[in-house]
Every structure is written in structure tokens, then in C-alpha cells.
Amino acid sequence: MMKLNLRMNNTSRNIMNLILPAVILLLSGACSIRYYQPATGILNEDRFAIIRSDSLLIAIRPSNYQGSNGELSSRYFPVFIRIRNNSIRKQTIGDSNFSILANEKQYDPIPLDYILHNIGQNQLLNANSDPFDLNDAVTMQNTLAKEQDLYYDVVANAFGYGDILVGGIKEGYLFYNRSIADADSISIDVFGKSIGFVKK
């Protein structure tokens, strides 16, 4: 009986020694994170594509939202952009200056008003999840205050269109349709110049 148990334990151990590495390899391949990186031939630094012109220095890259409201990265496709005005005049940046081409479809930035309205609706739904529970008023107030902070965090971290003063820098996130993330390569149109990004 004891020999049978030892033999079964050895057999089980051998099977585990074979299966465990295979499972680890499969999971590591399935869980590997692929990031968008500038395509070959594009000036880049730290996964940012760098675009230089006579008047502007632009750094842009698809990136998870780094603000307090991290769930925005699961609902939208965030792109971080930083622009410096190197000219002797103020420059105007409009919302039509940044489009993405992915799988032959063009995507324009989602207006910040829409995103903020969506966050506001979620706050309302969460605040009224149990209107009959009057004992939880303090917890509900704390939750509402936290959600309001998340709302203002998005406002502070979003890219603001408009004028950039001489020597000034504007930076922030633009948000696009989440379906862009399914593409293996994308092209971001920045002031009429197409910048390619490839998932690696």
C-alpha cells in the first residue's frame, strides 16, 4: 500500500513538473502587455513620437490614463500629448488637429464634455444605488466627494485646445473610441503629418 502511494506521489510530481512549466509559459504569453511604439524611422524617445516644426515641438504617444480615474483607460483609448511653442507668436491648437486612422477608419477625439457627462451619470447612478438606506449617509457623502475629485482630475489632465503662448507648453490626454486598441498599428495625424505607431 505504501509503495503504491509513493509511486502515485512520484507520478503526480512528474506530471506537475511537466504541466507547471507549460502552464506558466502559456500564461506569460497570454498576459504579455504590448504597447504602441513609434514605427521604424520616426524620431522617438521613451515611446513618444517626437515631431518638430519651425514653431512647435510635439511629443505624442498612446498611453494609459495616469490620473486618479484609471477606469477611463478601459472605456476610452487615451493618447498623451505635449506641445511646446518655440515660435515668436502664440499658436492656436484646434480639435481637428489630431485624428487617428486605425483599420482604415478615422477617429476624432471624443469631446471632453461627453466624457465628463458620462462620469456625472455614473456618479448619479452610484449615489442612488440604495435610496432607502438612510444609515449610510456619511459613506455616501464620502463617495460623492471622491467621485467629484475624479471628475476634476479628468478636467485637469485633459488636453486643452486653444492658444499656446510663446515659450509655453500644453499637455494632457485626448480620448478616442476604445475600439482603436484592437488594431495592431495606427496612424495619428498631427497637424497634417501622419505618425505611425505599432504594437510591440
> Each residue of 8-26: pLDDT tens digit?
555 555 555 556 555 554 5
- Give pLDDT, residue 28: 47
Instruction: Name the residue type at position 70.
Output: G
Same domain, 18 and 43: no
Structurally, the chain folds into a number of domains equal to 2
Q: Give the pLDDT mean for 81-85.
A: 96
Average pLDDT over residues 185-199: 93
* pLDDT computed for residue 121 by the predictor: 73
With a pLDDT cut of 90, the percent of the chain lying above it is 50
Quote the domain boundaries for residue 170: 33-199
**Gap between the Cα atoms of 93 and 82, Å rounded:** 12
- Shared domain for 112 and 190, answered yes or no, is yes
How many other C-beta atoms lie within 10 A of the C-beta of residue 84? 18
The CA distance from 190 to 172, in Å, is: 15
Q: What is the pLDDT of residues 22-75, one digit of tens each?
A: 555 455 444 556 789 999 999 999 999 999 988 999 999 999 888 777 778 888
Asked if residue 126 and residue 27 are part of one domain, the reply reads no
The CATH number given to whatever domain includes residue 163 is 2.60.40
